[in-house]
Structures are given as C-alpha cells and as structure tokens.
C-alpha cells in the first residue's frame, strides 16, 4: 500500500473516532437521570424532534425546538443553565448537543436512547 492509501485510512479512522468521542461539556444521561433533573429549576429541557413527533408523544417539561431550528432559536436559552436535550433515539440530540457546545453552552446533557427509552 502506498502513502496515499495510508493517509486515507488514517483520515477515515480519525473521522469515525471524532464522531463517537465524548465532547467536553456534553454528558450522556439515562432517562432516569433526566427524570431526576425535572425538579432542577436551573435546567432547560429541549426536545429536538419534528413538531409532528413532539405532538404525538412528549413529556413535560421538554420544550420543542426542532433540530433544524436549533441554531437560530438557541438565543432563547440561557447559556449559564444546564440544557437537557432529547430526540427519538439519541442521535439528533447528540448533534444538537454539539451545536449548542459550539455556540458556547457549557453544561449539556444528552438523553441516551431518547423517547424510545422512555418508560
């Protein structure tokens, strides 16, 4: 194998490692841990699913801000408070957590398994 193939392999591995590594300031939490935060007045709860998904099945106190609108709507959130994000499976909320992190939010929790894990 030539040098170019090795560079490509290394780049591909680095890409996948970076996609799955824990980002500082983002914590993955269980549904039970999310429920435990409901009494915390300093936490903000965001559901990043589509309005249709949210309307069909959601939990209070989660507020619906679809992932596609998050970048522009995040100005309504307090950067000093924890943000708990949820979606259907945990994938979109993980993306949402990264978006919020890039916008300067320091304390973000992603609910593992999303609404699919809610009991």
Catalytic residues: 87
Other CB atoms within a 10 A radius of the CB of residue 74 amount to: 18
Q: Hey, what's the torsion of the CAs at 93, 94, 95, 100, to 10 degrees? A: 80
- Work out the widest C-alpha separation in the chain, in whole angstroms: 58
Question: Which among 116, 109, 96, 111 has a CA at the least distance from the CA of 56?
Answer: 116
Question: Which among 108, 72, 76 has a CA at the least distance from the CA of 93?
Answer: 108
Q: Tokens at residue 69, please? A: 């609108």
């Amino acid at each position: 194998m030539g040098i170019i193939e090795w560079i490509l392999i290394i780049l591909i591995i680095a890409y996948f490692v970076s996609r799955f590594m824990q980002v500082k300031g983002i914590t993955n939490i269980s549904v039970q841990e999310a429920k435990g935060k409901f009494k915390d007045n300093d936490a903000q709860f965001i559901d990043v699913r589509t309005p249709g998904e949210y309307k069909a099945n959601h939990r209070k106190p989660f507020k619906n801000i679809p992932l596609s609108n998050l970048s522009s709507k995040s100005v309504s959130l307090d950067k000093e408070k924890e943000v708990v994000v949820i979606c259907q499976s945990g994938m979109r909320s993980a993306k949402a957590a990264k978006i919020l992190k890039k916008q300067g939010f320091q304390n973000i929790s992603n609910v593992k398994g999303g609404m699919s894990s809610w009991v």
